């Protein structure tokens, strides 16, 4: 069995690994990233390897997984929307309550495949549709959690119920392990 040409970087020193990933993407070269957090769970799980490719911010579409640099880390979250004038991206992890704004200068690229024994191309029409669907659900999820913060009595049951629904949707949409 041959090794994939985009073998994941060892996580011996996460700062060094982050610097290498950032440098490669900023130089216009594809690279891989090993998922380490649970912000995209269950769609992506810790230990999965993702192929990242550089792209212009304007080329990003809702539902795609965007890689960006923040606080010395590479973060991979779902695009909810892209502002056409400024290039700013509203992103949110599937397993995160709130969306956030990412500046054009923080964007590194997008995930195009899951790397493994059986690679999964995230650019297939199935995953593009699934990504848009999950992005829409994620946007509602963020709004419900904002509503819950303002209206605790009725908001929290709604927000928690939708959290369960979003996680179930992510599990059903999850690509098969490679």
In a domain, 42, yes or no: yes
Residue percentage of the chain with pLDDT more than 90: 70
In a domain, 63, yes or no: yes
In a domain, 75, yes or no: yes
| Three-state secondary structure of 129-175 | HHHHHHHHHHHHHHHHHHHHHHCHHHHHHHHHHHHHHHHHHHHHHCC
Q: What are phi and psi of 162, to 5 degrees?
A: -70, -30
In a domain, 1, yes or no: no
| 42-56 pLDDT tens trace | 999 999 999 999 999
Judge whether residue 172 has pLDDT over 50.
Answer: yes
User: Domain limits at 133?
Assistant: 14-173
In a domain, 3, yes or no: no
* Number of structural domains in the chain: 1
In a domain, 5, yes or no: no
The model's pTM is: 0.86
Q: Average pLDDT for residues 114-118, to the nearest whole number?
A: 87
Judge whether residue 128 has pLDDT over 90.
Answer: yes
In a domain, 2, yes or no: no
Q: What's 156's domain CATH number? A: 2.10.109.10
């Amino acid at each position: 069995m041959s090794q994939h040409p985009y073998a994941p970087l060892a996580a011996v020193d996460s700062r060094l690994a982050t610097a290498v990933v950032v440098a490669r993407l900023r130089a216009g070269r594809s690279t891989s990233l090993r998922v380490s957090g649970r912000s995209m769970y269950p769609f992506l799980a810790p230990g999965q390897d993702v192929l990242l490719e550089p792209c212009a911010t304007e080329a990003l579409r809702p539902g795609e997984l965007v890689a960006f640099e923040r606080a010395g880390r590479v973060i991979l979250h779902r695009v909810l929307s892209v502002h056409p004038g400024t290039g700013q991206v509203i992103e949110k992890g599937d397993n995160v309550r709130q969306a956030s704004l990412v500046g054009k200068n923080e964007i590194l690229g997008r995930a195009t495949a899951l790397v493994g024994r059986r690679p999964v191309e995230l650019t297939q029409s199935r995953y593009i549709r699934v990504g848009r669907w999950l992005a829409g659900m994620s946007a509602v999820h963020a709004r419900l959690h904002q509503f819950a913060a303002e209206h605790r009595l009725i908001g929290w049951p709604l927000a928690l119920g939708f959290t369960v629904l979003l996680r179930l949707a992510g599990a059903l949409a999850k690509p098969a392990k490679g």
